[in-house]
Structure 1
Amino acid sequence: MTFLPKSIHDRLLANGRRQDPVRGTEDEIDFHPVVKLFTPDANCTWLLTEIDPEEPNIAFGLCDLGLGFPELGTVSLSELASLRGHLGLPIEVDRHFKAKKPISRYADEAAASGHIAA
């Protein structure tokens, strides 16, 4: 995906490979987000932790479409790459974002407040 720098893409894929053998078990890994994506003109935010190694177009993370109901789930990277906000601006990588906690904590806080605060 052109909007994801190779180093970030590689880290997401590495996390997906680590998660794959334990996915759905009690040993599932609660990763810190690798990247924060946002629409500068549409109030949407994504915190991604991993890419599915079997389906490299699918990422997992916390998704907030600005409607007050952020949720953990999968997202298509090709759809994100083609997404444009109200002014036609593409998704951007927040180059200053540094995760300070695991994705489950961001998800709990987002559920309580209705938006991702990262």
Structure 2
Amino acid sequence: MTSKLKQNLLHKINRQDVPKIYETENVAIEQKKLLFKFFTPDSHWTWYAWEAEKIGDEDIKFFGPVDGDFLEMGYFYLSELDRICGGLGLPVEIDQYPNETEYQKMLRRLMKIEV
């Protein structure tokens, strides 16, 4: 991830409308707002962030669904995403224009798991 992209993310995290970790735990899954979507262009892994919080000066802790070998919810860090590469060695990217239909499909899958 480029340093410009990282700085952009760090700036966005400081905004008032970005929920901090645990702030949406009482919000129903189908009402969760997508903050960021990260993906590996040469693999099947996708990270969806519902909550985000700055950790120190250089890192961000996220919470949300992770769709890899199976779909689960969890915490992940920007520093971790920085170190991950897909099968062809391509780095994780942020989806600047996430597809709402694709996001809704993932939420429906997640709700089936959580029931």
Tell me the residue number matched to 2:37: 36
Could you tell me how far 1:61 is from its partner in structure 2? 1.5
Contact 1:33-1:99 within 8 A present in 2 as well: no
Confirm or deny that 1:87 pairs with 2:54.
no
Which TM-score applies when normalising by structure 2? 0.65
Q: Does 2:62 align with 1:59?
A: yes
Identity %: 26
The verdict on how the C-alpha distance between 1:76 and 1:54 changes in structure 2, with shifts beyond 3 A counting, is closer
Relative to total residues, which structure has the larger strand share, 1 or 2?
2
1-side partners of 2:39 and 2:11: how far apart?
20
Structure 1 distance, partners of 2:63, 2:75, is 4
Q: Structure 1: any 5+ residue segments left out of the alignment?
A: none
Moved more, 53-62 or 38-47: 53-62
Alpha-carbon spacing, 1:23–1:35, altered in 2? closer, same or farther (3 Å): closer
Residue identity in the other structure for 2:35: V
* Contact map agreement 1:3 1:91 (CA 8 A) in 2: no
The question of whether the paired residues in 1 share the 8 Å contact of 2:82 and 2:91 is answered with: yes
Q: Contact (CA 8 Å) 1:63, 1:70: kept in 2 or not?
A: yes
SS at match of 1:52: strand
Q: How many residues of Structure 1 are paired with residues of Structure 2 in the alignment?
A: 107
Q: 1:46 to 1:23 in 2, by over 3 A?
A: closer
CA contact (8 A) 1:38 1:44 kept: yes
Partner Cα distance (1:3, 1:113) in 2: 38
Normalised by the length of structure 1, the TM-score is: 0.63
Is 1:109 the equivalent of 2:108? yes
